[in-house]
Structure 1
Amino acid sequence: MVAIAVDGLGKAFKHYPTRWARLAEWILPGNRPHHIPKWVLQDINFTIDPGEAVGIVGVNGAGKSTLLKLITGTLQPSTGTVQTHGRLAAMLELGMGFHPDFTGRQNVFMAGQLMGLGIDEIKDLLPEIEKFADIGDYIDQPVRIYSSGMQMRLAFSAATAVRPDTLIIDEAMAVGDAYFQAKCFQRIARFKQQGTTLLLVSHSVGDIVKHCERAILLKNGHVEQDGSSRQVTNRYLDELFGKSPCPEVQGSCQFGCAGTQMLNGDDDVFHTRPGYCVEEHRWGQGGGAILDYLIVAQGEHYPSRIESNAQTDFYFKVRFDNDFSSVVPGFLIKTLEGIFLYGTNSFIANEGRSHLAAEAGNIKVFRFSLPMALNEGHYLISFGISSGDPLTNLEPIERRYDSVMIHVGRTIQFWGLVDLTASFETIEQQRQLNGHTCN
């Protein structure tokens, strides 16, 4: 027996080309259809065994949420079948199933009855639900005044008050604070040990790798890959950041080879590279342009995942249109929220010993090399080239801020953002008492 069996599953929604087409289809029964089927999912096949933890990944619009709604029965398939066994608990859209005008307590009773629990069972579980949700007196207030985090707290507490045979979560916990997320995943881990099947949709590849042994990648409504969570999430990151072959820089070579190959050509191909952020802020006074970049980590070009503390090379190519007696390349790492984590330039990195000049027509490739001593997450990279005296005044020739996004992976995470590589030891003192050695 399997926990979930999906066979030939497909879902199409009706798309009406005009507002009158829908009316015509209603009032002319038996007539030809006036809609065009828009297929969101087609020919989906997989099985999930009891106790297995499976992640679902894919870019927005891939069909992830539709798939979960079909599995839970809130949508009916256009083709194929879905079979589930045992008690199923699901957290799909945030607040789904909660009535905004009812109190949290009233919604808990409604949610519990939808899961097949009796009134007396819900009354017995209510103290634990209130304790786990930890929203205080808001439990007796209308849900419409709840924050998204409070809704998630109460929804998860109610859905997991009784251990389900299958637990389905669709990105809902992303709105919760870190403390409550940790509580949720502790409960999920305990359920998994007791045999609960987990189906998790998340844009956080770290959560997928950490909590799921297997993952399924959806692309354009089809199963693109089904395999180990690490392999599938790496493929997902490639899809997300547009990784594509780059013949002029591919191959196993060190700085000299990669840097020399990047010197070829003077076209601006920066925006064609994997990880490029179209929302970049590009500015400067002119006199040159940043044309290209390359990231190399552990021998891989444009890696979809950089392991924490891996030595990583960041190259960028600059074309100079004017003569400059002194130029200073720069490099910056920020969080997605805009927090500056680390910034340096050629002068700082070489302890003031660097002096670079450029002439009009020159094309130069610069490299910054550093260990990516960061926690699991996504980060923004900025490149810049300036002119002038780094000790007094630098004039920006061109800067491309927040132009590249990278993903850093780490199996065992720490608190915070930067790995300061602390060491640890235990020191014991021995004392002599009456001729005996005591610890």
Structure 2
Amino acid sequence: MERPIQLDSISKCYRIYKNPKDRLKQALLDRFQRGLGRKNPSYLYREHWALRDVSFELQAGEAVGILGRNGAGKSTLLQIIAGTLEPTSGVVQSRGRITALLELGSGFNPEFTGRENVFLNAQILGMSNEDVVTRFDDIASFADIGSFIEQPVKTYSSGMMMRLAFAVQTVLDPDVLIVDEALSVGDVKFQEKCFRKLRSLRDDGTSILFVSHDINAVTSFCDRALLFESGRLISSGKPVDVSKAFIETLYSDSPANRVDEVSENLSVENTLDFESSDQTAIEDEDGKIKQPDDYRFGNRKVEILKIAIFDQDGNQTEVLVSGARYTITQTIIAHAPIVDLSSGFIIRNKRGIDIFGVTNKTAGVDFSPIETGQTLLVSIEIDTWLAAGDYFLQAANAGDDGVQYDCRIDALHFVVINTPVLFTTSIVNLNPKFRFDLVRTIPNIASSKNG
């Protein structure tokens, strides 16, 4: 099957001028130099490379998450794929209908009503008026904005705008759907509705490019993830693995400046595994979970020496009984004076979804200043109301500015056993208590008539 999107060495450069008048001067200078058949450096502008030499392919029916800090080049990339922006160099090959949710309101005429904008957008995307009439009720129903569909778009809230835009772009049977942070605007209920629709589209063969800062959304929904930093594609692979590198770019002292060892061209064949892409853990030949590599980063002003879990009798264990109480600990040492330490833990399942997280700050506990060379034991007690299965523990220590001293992801693998029956298909147990109270008894009408 032909791949709907192929990018080969895409780069995008913007000229940043000190003075608006320099644009005209540069245009005249460029024309003059072309006439002379030469190109000399110009000092009227500086170059900003939003993208540099980006290559990857998108497979039919594949959902790819795109991660990166603000300014990493994500939106520029999506605009180039959508065709609203031309690359400075490189080739983009696309097949089929591409729909995009980029900036809220893009493609909408604020003076037109929602209905008029539906017809306008659909026809721009190549649909006939008759097709739009046939699908209009589905679009209006999905957007669920009521009578506002007949009001000018300029009167819409950002959430209503997103609802209508998402409904239009997804009901038109796209071959490729591009979503750039748009879902973060909607309410939680509508976001859930959108993700159900996205899963349905993916199952039907639509390829999806999904940009989000929500790591859990990327790891749970996407088959593959790409990480961008300073305009470069620095990592490609399983979402849970790429998300670790993304966390490092967010909380390290300085941006990541290395290019990870990824396969040549970052092709689908070398980086995509639909069967295992949603798992943090690695299974051996017997199907048992093996401990993944401990992913670690930080400036080591505070260093984690040991991480462990203890039962109520003080025994160290990595096999936990569901519902029992345990103590999670990390032993740390300070290599510099620390005034305001933030120390905590995160428990995630093997799909990379965060189940629980806490720091001393969120718990309302402040540590006294720590001197160089001091060793401390940081601990929390928890009731392990988790379903049976494999889980992974993250421990981290950071300063008040968010810079990580030492962060260890997947530092400890533990197993939960003996799940109570009441869990059914749940991940966690919220200790429900059922009760039945008689409200009233409805008289038997037939008996009343006979009487």
SS in 1 for 2:32: coil
Indicate the percent of aligned positions where both proteins have the same amino acid: 33
Q: Deviations over 1:225-254 (max 9, x none)?
A: 000011001211121122424176244466
2:300 corresponds to 1:246: yes
2:93 corresponds to 1:83: yes
Deviation at 1:36, TM superposition (A): 2.6
Change (3 A) 1:69 1:251: same
Distance in 2 (alpha carbons) for counterparts of 1:70 and 1:21? 26
- Look up the match of 2:333: 261
- Look up the match of 2:200: 190
Q: Deviations over 1:190-218 (max 9, x none)?
A: 11111111110011111111110100000
Q: How many residues align?
A: 332
- Look up the match of 2:355: 308
Unaligned runs of 5+ in 2: 34-39, 253-296, 310-328, 387-395, 411-422, 435-451
The answer (yes or no) to whether the contact 1:382–1:401 under 8 Å persists in 2 is no
SS in 2 for 1:308: strand
Residue 32 (structure 2) aligned to one of 9, 30, 33: 30
- Look up the match of 1:70: 80
The answer (yes or no) to whether the contact 1:56–1:201 under 8 Å persists in 2 is yes
The answer (yes or no) to whether the contact 1:7–1:82 under 8 Å persists in 2 is yes
Distance in 2 (alpha carbons) for counterparts of 1:401 and 1:64? 28
Change (3 A) 1:78 1:253: same
What amino acid maps onto 1:209 in structure 2? T
Q: Deviations over 1:366-410 (max 9, x none)?
A: 6341449899xxxxx999xxxxxxxxxxxxxxxx9897899999x
What amino acid maps onto 1:4 in structure 2? I
- Look up the match of 1:167: 177
- Look up the match of 2:152: 142
SS in 2 for 1:195: coil
Distance in 2 (alpha carbons) for counterparts of 1:236 and 1:5? 24
SS in 1 for 2:303: coil
SS in 2 for 1:100: coil
What amino acid maps onto 2:62 in structure 1? E
The answer (yes or no) to whether the contact 2:139–2:168 under 8 Å persists in 1 is yes
SS in 2 for 1:261: strand
Change (3 A) 1:92 1:374: farther
Change (3 A) 1:49 1:363: closer
Change (3 A) 1:159 1:100: same
- Look up the match of 1:232: 242
The answer (yes or no) to whether the contact 2:219–2:353 under 8 Å persists in 1 is no
- Look up the match of 1:4: 5
Distance in 1 (alpha carbons) for counterparts of 2:102 and 2:302? 45
Change (3 A) 1:54 1:187: same
Distance in 2 (alpha carbons) for counterparts of 1:115 and 1:343? 53
Q: TM-score, normalised by structure 1?
A: 0.66
Distance in 1 (alpha carbons) for counterparts of 2:128 and 2:63? 29
SS in 2 for 1:188: helix
- Look up the match of 1:367: 378
Distance in 1 (alpha carbons) for counterparts of 2:237 and 2:56? 11
What amino acid maps onto 1:11 in structure 2? K
The answer (yes or no) to whether the contact 2:306–2:332 under 8 Å persists in 1 is no
What amino acid maps onto 1:123 in structure 2? V
Change (3 A) 1:153 1:36: same
Moved over 6 A (4+): 360-364, 372-375, 400-409
Deviation at 1:132, TM superposition (A): 0.8
Distance in 1 (alpha carbons) for counterparts of 2:27 and 2:366? 67
The answer (yes or no) to whether the contact 1:49–1:197 under 8 Å persists in 2 is yes
Distance in 1 (alpha carbons) for counterparts of 2:225 and 2:383? 26
Deviation at 1:258, TM superposition (A): 6.4
2:202 corresponds to 1:155: no
SS in 1 for 2:127: coil
The answer (yes or no) to whether the contact 2:216–2:354 under 8 Å persists in 1 is no
- Look up the match of 1:17: 18
Distance in 2 (alpha carbons) for counterparts of 1:191 and 1:424? 39
- Look up the match of 1:222: 232
Deviation at 1:11, TM superposition (A): 0.4
Distance in 1 (alpha carbons) for counterparts of 2:90 and 2:385? 45
The answer (yes or no) to whether the contact 1:382–1:402 under 8 Å persists in 2 is no
In proportion to residue count, which structure has more strand?
1
Change (3 A) 1:306 1:55: closer
Distance in 1 (alpha carbons) for counterparts of 2:89 and 2:32? 21
- Look up the match of 1:97: 107
Change (3 A) 1:402 1:220: closer
Greater alpha carbon shift after TM alignment, 38-47 vs 162-171:
162-171
Distance in 2 (alpha carbons) for counterparts of 1:245 and 1:306? 26
Distance in 2 (alpha carbons) for counterparts of 1:294 and 1:182? 32
2:183 corresponds to 1:129: no
Q: Deviations over 1:312-371 (max 9, x none)?
A: 7x6xxxxxxxxxxxxxxxx442xxxxxxxx54689xxxxxxxxxx99x999784634144
Taking the TM superposition and a 5 Å limit, the aligned residue runs for 1:301-340 are: 307-309=354-356, 331-333=360-362
What amino acid maps onto 1:91 in structure 2? L
Q: TM-score, normalised by structure 2?
A: 0.64
Taking the TM superposition and a 5 Å limit, the aligned residue runs for 1:318-397 are: 331-333=360-362, 342-343=363-364, 365=376, 367-371=378-382
Deviation at 1:186, TM superposition (A): 0.8
Distance in 2 (alpha carbons) for counterparts of 1:245 and 1:361? 15
SS in 2 for 1:169: strand
What amino acid maps onto 2:355 in structure 1? S
Distance in 2 (alpha carbons) for counterparts of 1:370 and 1:259? 15
2:265 corresponds to 1:211: no
